[in-house]
Amino acid sequence: MCELMGMSAFRATDVNHSLELLQPRGGEIGPHADGWGVAFYDGRAARIFKEPIPASESRCLSFIASHCYQSRVVVGHIRKANPARFGRATANTHPFCRELGGRSWVFAHNGKLPGIDQARFHPHRFQPIGDTDSERAFCYLMDRVAEHWSGGGAPPPDRLAGWLSEPIAALSELGIFNMLLSDGDNLVVFANERLHALHRDCDEGGQEQHVLLLATQPLTDEPWRPVELGVVHVARDGDFVVPAGASTLTAVRAGG
């Protein structure tokens, strides 16, 4: 299957080192050779880079990983096509993006959702461009959010979690559903199989920084913790804020 990478931070920062560690897993030391993508938020807008080629062979990703793009929210993905007939294509490459309420919403998924062609999951306002169950799940979730939200800033984290809890549970019943979804302020995190998190407290240029990193498999030898399965989490400003008190991660002091 695929691998996810995400970040929520109190202040804009880069994820250069995380991308450098993730890149070889996309076709060199890992089987996820069917595409890569990463979204950096700049306010309400997401700057998205992606290619339907192995991450390990991408000069574009190497450039990005050394270019110090800074953001408060990042969503990354390396892809292994499953099923293989939905192969390498830009339309099938994560992360996916849609507009709602005057901001970019970005989604990436690890897993497989047989049965998502059921009528209850058919898209309405938001339509898939590619062939994947992942993008269809994204459109289904966006339809549900659009029932409650039309703009005026980012939704409150607790309300967003409430709107998404039932549709996420329905998708989770279909199969493996590990996902990241963001509106540029909130980062919705869910896993029913595997996802890890690391909370760092850093000093960057004399300013206090809080960073929450997420990855399917730990990227470093730091004390990553498994994300609680079957629970909708929302991260904001570098920490989990939903459920309240969910951040039981060990904070790591880092030099920047």
**Residues with catalytic roles:** 2
Question: Which residues, 6+ apart, have CB-to-CB distance to 250 below 8 Å?
Answer: 199, 223, 225
Q: DSSP letters along 67-120, please? A: TT--EEEEEEEE---SSTTS-S-GGGSSPEEEEETTEEEEEEEEEE-TTTTSGG
Q: Which of 42, 46, 51, 49 is nearest to 99 (CA)?
A: 46
Contact 32, 3 (CB under 8 A): yes
Rounded CA gap, 237 and 224, in Å? 19
Rounded CA gap, 43 and 183, in Å? 9
Rounded CA gap, 94 and 26, in Å? 13
Q: Find the length of the chain.
A: 256
For 151, left (φ over 0), alpha (ψ -120 to 50), or beta?
Answer: left
Tokens of 168: 């996420």
- Helices and strands of the chain, counted as H and E runs: 4, 14
